[in-house]
Amino acid sequence: MRLDSFDLDPFFLFDEVKPNTCIADIAPEAPFESVKITCRLVRGHMRCGNRLSDLDVIVPCDSPPDVVFTWGSWCLVQERTLRIFQDEGLTGFSSRPARARSQDGRAFPVSELVITGWGGIAPEASGIRELERCPACGHLRYSGIEEPRELLDLNNWDRSDFFMVWPLPMYRFVTGRVAEVCAKHKITGITLERNFPLPSEHVISGYSPGRLSYYMPADRAHALGDSLRIS
């Protein structure tokens, strides 16, 4: 049975405000380097791997919000917001250096928000199953989600406030504690959505997320992913 959405209670999705008129883009002169992966078996597995360069972005609004998303779905937080998250004792995230400036060249301090909390591998009951694992280059391909109500298995969750479920690393799941902190400090630029949307038909066919180390620090990725062979 397919649904349009399902209620994530007690969790939320930490997502951009829609419509978003302040999506950041990589600065034209900034290096944006990543590991280039080729495959000796399958030409179609050529892809980008780990991002080597820190984000350097242009934010197209006069008053940037506390949380800024990029066209590539990376997430930046202003330094005030990062300190709030840290001081409030929220868990499941780290930060990576980043740069941001407005279109007129005014710089403001930001960091990239990196999710390190873990909700495990999506259960097969969700419809998400591993379809391909290339023995030469490690390319991974998964089927699409069919039953979103089966996406979150609390037995797989490490109790972090921010966490991801594999193979959906760019969906940032958060606890009610994050929602409380954001409301308390009036954090702007985000929406905390209870409904998890079913992907549209053009992506329902599946996911190719790369490796876990593309999204979190290598030591954390290895600790979580080595036994699953996804790090």
As a whole number of angstroms, the distance between CA 163 and CA 117 comes to: 4
Would you say residue 230 lies in a domain? no
Contact assessment for residue 138 and residue 40, using Cβ atoms and an 8 Å cutoff: no
Q: How confident is the model at residue 33, as a pLDDT?
A: 86
Q: Is position 30 within any domain?
A: yes
Confidence of residue 149 (pLDDT cuts 50, 70, 90): confident
Number of domains in the chain: 1
23 in any annotated domain? yes
Residues 141-159 have a mean pLDDT of 91
Q: Each residue of 170-199: pLDDT tens digit?
A: 999 999 999 999 999 999 999 998 887 765
Mean pLDDT is lowest, of 44-48, 167-171, 217-221, 225-229, for 44-48
Confidence band, pLDDT 50/70/90 cuts, at residue 208 = very high
User: What separation in angstroms does the CA of 213 have from each of 21, 83, 192, 222?
Assistant: 30, 25, 26, 8
Residue 231 in any domain: the answer is no
Place of tokens 């883009």: 25
pLDDT at 207 over 80: yes
3-state secondary structure (DSSP) of residue 218: helix
Kindly state the average pLDDT of the residues 41-47. Answer: 91
Q: Give the three-state DSSP class for 27.
A: coil
Q: Is residue 211 part of a domain?
A: yes
Alpha helices in 91-217 (DSSP H): 176-184
Q: Which residues are 197's β-sheet partners?
A: 5
Q: Report yes or no on 164 lying in a domain.
A: yes
Domain span at 74: 5-225
Asked whether residue 82 carries a pLDDT value surpassing 60, the answer given is yes
pLDDT of residue 196: 78
